[in-house]
Amino acid sequence: MGRTIAKIVGVAGYVPEYRLTNAELETMVDTNDEWIRTRTGIVERRILKDKTKASSDMGAEAVKQLLKKTGTAPDEVDLLICATATPDMLFPDTANVIRDKVGITSGFGFEISAACSGFLYALTTGARFVEGGLKKVIVVGADKMSSIVDYTDRSTCIIFGDAAAAVMLEPTDDGLGIIDSVLESDGSGRHLLYQKAGGSLHPATHETVENKEHFIYQEGRAVFKYAINGMVGSIKQVLERNGLSKEDIHWLVPHQANKRIIDGVANMFDFPKEKVMVNIQKYGNTTTATIPLCLWEWEDKLHKGDNLILTAFGGGFTWGATFLKWGY
């Protein structure tokens, strides 16, 4: 019997029905299918077209599936953490909106904002609460990225999609679960990938709307370099701290930011392609949802005891890696 750690006991996901294909983007902005595929690896992305729906609605759908899948009653949930870069509102908290929509009235919830690294930050936080005594913790990644994308900007509109996915954490002492995490951040990169207006520094005005300052802005080349270096560095730390080599890893689960970034990280460790989860071609970059979406899609290929490395990089900058042993 070992120390109590948090184990993933279930995973669920939700993607909107509407597929925004590269062919359709060709009619909206100066781009083409070959250019998008070559630079990002993306073929299509899902978009939540209903303007009355938000990140919480996708998150709620994923959580409903998760509760059903794990046989969990809403009032059994001690904590729900939502990682998101596109909250429904600045307040109330999106996590609590999701809780209300799925009928969770017990325990508490809160939101974590760390851009594309948000799910890793939330997963590590949830694990600590489980280690501290909570029995059932849900971690959700949900983002309606289409709400902050400028569809006249070909450098960003080709990349992002909408989705949500969630995992259930429970305590275990069998050695399977979330073993270690390295989380890092560097605020000096905040002007290379960000949304300028909408916060307390630049509240919404006619001018901020006219100047399109409520959309994503990024300097792609700089972000590309920082992303690879950040994820590679955190993976190295996790491997070294746990006495692991690349041969010990069954699956690399990278944030789905860009196929070239994914390939760059995998190549640095010479991870075989068949060990790297990639679904960016179908969903694009769904920000906080990418990693749990991969776990959801690959669930039937995972085996109890498999060693997984999750890694992400996001605006701010934020980045990290998590080592876990699959629990079921």
Domain ranges of the chain: 5-175, 179-325
Q: Which runs of consecutive H residues, i.e. helices, occur in the chain? A: 22-26, 33-40, 55-70, 94-102, 118-131, 154-157, 206-210, 220-241, 259-269, 280-283, 290-297
Q: Does the domain at residues 5-175 carry the CATH identifier 3.40.50.1860?
A: no
Superfamily for 179-325? Thiolase/Chalcone synthase (3.40.47.10)
State the chain's mean pLDDT as an integer: 96
Q: Which residues neighbour 8 within 8 Å (Cβ) at sequence distance 6 or greater?
A: 167, 168, 169, 177, 178, 295, 324, 326, 327, 328
Residue 112 is predicted with a pLDDT of 97
Let me know if the fold of 5-175 is the same as that of 179-325: yes
Evaluate if residue 11 carries a pLDDT over 80: yes
The predicted model scores a pTM of 0.96
**Residue 61 pLDDT class (50, 70, 90 cuts):** very high
Catalytic residues, by residue number, are 116, 255, 285
Evaluate if residue 1 carries a pLDDT over 60: no
